[in-house]
Amino acid sequence: MRLLNEGACPPEINMATDAALLESIRQGQSPATLRLYEWSAPALTYGLGQRLPEPLIAACNSFSLSTFQRPTGGKAVLHGHDLTLALAFPPALLFETTQRVSPRRVYDVLTERLIEAWQRVGIRAVRGTDSAPDPQSMEDGGDCFATPALSDLVNADTGAKLMGCALRVKQDGVLLQASVPLREPVVDTRLLFGRSHPIPTFQDSDRLRTALITAFEEMF
């Protein structure tokens, strides 16, 4: 597997790069790739099929937040204070089938390794318990972190969402994108989404960032 540890990248580059990774996997032009990166400026991404609430669009404009559609599903994520992971690979790497595998099956396999990575840095992680939110629903303000879905990881001790995950599964390529909040966000989520959500607080976010990068690299 190819490893790309890219540090802080411009917001306009990140989603385009992840989309290009998936396409290159589908064309057989790249090996399976783990890409780890951060954001040189705050930005908001939203999932395929999501309809952004008008208040969220207005809030992004008021904070001069750029918005970018992800090549995966899920709901809106505020970036700039997080470590982001993109994992692109052909399904045959994990599954002995030429047929399209279900997103649930892919999650079942990948979350085992993600949970183990968190355990290696001393944090007990478990999968969320809620159903995936409706991408068209406005009740949560469009916020991914408002719902700890089955595809996400939460802190087993505090219930705070540790990692929001989104997936795109094609017959010839899979892309997982995941966001790990490390610090308090630059923009108040209550002002952005109209509601607050539990934010993980870590005593030494820089040390955790380094440890997580190592753990993710080892697990994949």
Domains of the chain: 2-219 (3.30.930.10)
Average model confidence (pLDDT) for the chain? Answer: 91
The pLDDT tens digits of the residues spanning 84-131 come to: 999 999 998 888 876 778 889 999 999 999 999 999 999 999 999 876
Instruction: Give the HSE-up count for residue 66: Cα atoms under 13 Å, Cβ half-sphere.
Output: 14
Rounded Cα distance between 160 and 213, Å, is 20
pLDDT in tens, 151-181: 899 999 988 899 999 999 999 999 999 999 9
Say what the pLDDT of residue 110 is. Answer: 95
Q: What angle do CA 57, 140, 79 make, to 5 degrees?
A: 55
pTM: 0.92
- Angstrom CA distances, 217 to 13, 38, 162, stand at 22, 16, 18
Q: DSSP letters of 178-191?
A: EEEE-S--SS-HHH
Least confident residue range of 3-7, 14-18, 113-117, 138-142: 138-142
